[in-house]
Structure 1
Amino acid sequence: MVGTAVWLRSRGRIQHICESAGDARELRLRLLEEIRRVVGFDAYAFLLTDPETSVGSLPLADVPCLRELPRLIRLKYLTALNRWTTLKASAPVALLQEATGGDPSHSLLWRELLREYRISDVASTVFRDRSGCWGFLDLWRSDAAARFSPAEAAYLAHIADAVTGALRRCQADTFKACGPHPPRPGPVVLLLSGELQVLGQTPETHEYLRVLVPPERGRTPIPATAYNVAAQLLAFESGVDSHPPSARVHLSDGLWLTLRAARIGSAQPPGTRGIAVTIEEASPRERVEVFTRAFGLSAREAEVLGHLVAGADTREVAGRMFLSEYTVQDHLKSVFSKTAVHSRRALLARALGS
Structure 2
Amino acid sequence: MAVPVVPYARSYDRVVRLCETATDSRTLRTRLIAELRRATAFEAYAFLLTDPETTVGCSPITEVPCLPELPRMTRLKYLTEVHRWTALDGVALLSDLPDPAVSPLWHELLRHHGVRDIAAMAFKDRFGCWGRLDLYRRDGHFTAEESSYLSRLTAPVTTALRRTQAHTFVVRRPHTRSSGPLALLLSPDLRVLAQTAATPTFLSRMSPPAHGGRAAIHASVYDVAAQLLAVEAGIDTHPPRTRAHLADGLWLTLSAARIDDATPTHRRNTIAVTIEETSPTDRLTLFTRAFALTPREADVLTHLARGGDSHTVAHHMSLSEHTVQDHLKSIFTKTSTNNRVMLLTRALGT
* TM > 0.5: yes
Aligned CA RMSD, in angstroms, stands at: 2.1
Matches within 5 A, 1:25-40: 25-40=26-41
Q: Residues 73 and 231 of structure 1 are in contact (CA less than 8 Å); yes or no, is this contact kept in structure 2?
A: yes
1:282 positional shift? 0.3
Structure 2 counterpart of 1:227:
222
Equivalent residue, structure 1, for 2:94: 96
Q: 1:159-205 deviations in whole A, cap 9, x for unaligned?
A: 11111111111100000245763653332101101100000001111
Alpha-carbon displacement from aligned partner over 1:56-103 (angstroms, at most 9, x marks no partner): 011111111001000000000000000101113xxx2101110x22x2
- Please, which runs of 5 or more residues in structure 2 have no aligned partner? none
Percentage of matched positions with identical amino acids: 55
Q: In the alignment, is the contact (CA less than 8 A) between 2:130 and 2:162 conserved in 1? A: yes
Question: Residue 249 of structure 1 aligns with which residue?
Answer: 244
Contact 2:48 2:131 survives alignment (8 Å): yes
> Residue 68 of structure 2 contacts residue 215 of structure 2 at CA under 8 Å; is this kept in 1?
no
Q: 1:63 to 1:182 in 2, by over 3 A?
A: closer
Matches within 5 A, 1:189-200: 189-200=183-194
**Residues 179 and 353, structure 1, Cα contact 8 Å, conserved in 2:** no
The CA distance in 1 between the partners of 2:190 and 2:252, in whole Å, is 21
Whole-angstrom distance in 1 between the partners of 2:268 and 2:18: 46
Verify: 1:212 aligned to 2:206, yes or no: yes
Q: Secondary structure at the match of 2:237?
A: coil
Q: Is the 8 A contact 2:174 2:248 kept in 1?
A: no
Partner of 1:171: 165
Which of 326, 330, 336 matches 1:330? 326
Larger displacement relative to structure 2 (183-192 or 280-289): 183-192
CA offsets, 1:245-291, max 9 Å, x none? 0000000011000000001123489x961000000000000111111
Q: Work out the CA distance in 2 between the residues paired with 1:310 and 1:148.
A: 51
Cα distance in 2 for residues equivalent to 1:123 and 1:178: 38
Deviates more, 1:32-41 or 1:172-181: 172-181
Matches within 5 A, 1:110-121: 110-121=106-117
Contact 2:179/2:198 (<8 A) preserved: yes
Structure 1: gaps spanning 5 or more residues: none
Deviations 1:286-325 (A, max 9, x none): 1111110000001111111001111000010011111111
1:274 matched to 2:267? The reply is no
Instruction: Assess if the C-alpha contact under 8 Å between 2:259 and 2:268 holds in 1.
Output: no
Matched residue of 2:142: which SS?
Answer: coil
Instruction: Give, as a single letter, the amino acid of the residue that structure 2 aligns with 1:260.
Output: S
**Could you tell me which of 281, 290, 297 is aligned with 2:293?**
297
Q: CA deviation at 1:44?
A: 0.4
SS at match of 1:148: coil
CA contact (8 A) 2:44 2:136 kept: yes
> What's 2:12 paired with?
11
- Relative to 1, partners in 2 of residues 1:116 and 1:237: Cα closer, same or farther, differing over 3 Å? same
Match of 1:158 among 152, 159, 167: 152
Contact 1:176 1:353 in 2 (8 A): no
Normalization by structure 1: what TM-score? 0.93
- C-alpha contact (below 8 Å) 2:171/2:248 kept by paired residues: no
SS of equivalent to 2:217: coil
**Normalised by the size of structure 2, how large is the TM-score?**
0.94
Deviation at 1:2, TM superposition (A): 9.0
1:23 correspondence with 2:24 = yes
1:58-207 matched pairs, under 5 angstroms:
58-88=59-89, 92-98=90-96, 100-101=97-98, 103-143=99-139, 146-178=140-172, 181=175, 183-207=177-201
Letter of the 1:136 counterpart: R
Contact 1:176 1:349 in 2 (8 A): no
* Cα distance in structure 1, aligned partners of 2:163 and 2:23: 10
Q: 2:338 aligns with which of 339, 342, 349?
A: 342
Q: CA deviation at 1:217?
A: 6.0
SS in 1 for 2:198: helix
Greater mean alpha carbon deviation, residues 52-61 or residues 204-213: 204-213
Distance 1:220 1:113, change over 3 A: closer
CA–CA separation in structure 1 for the residues paired with 2:218 and 2:66: 16
- Structure 2 residue 297 is matched with structure 1 residue 311: no
Q: Report how far residue 119 of structure 1 moved.
A: 1.0
Counterpart contact for 2:45–2:136, Cα < 8 Å: yes
Runs of 4+ residues over 4 Å off in structure 1:
216-221
Counterpart for residue 288 of structure 1 = 284
Q: Distance in 2 between matches of 1:353 and 1:179?
A: 12
Q: Matched residue pairs, number?
A: 345
**Are the aligned partners of 1:194 and 1:274 in contact in 2 as well (CA < 8 Å)?**
yes
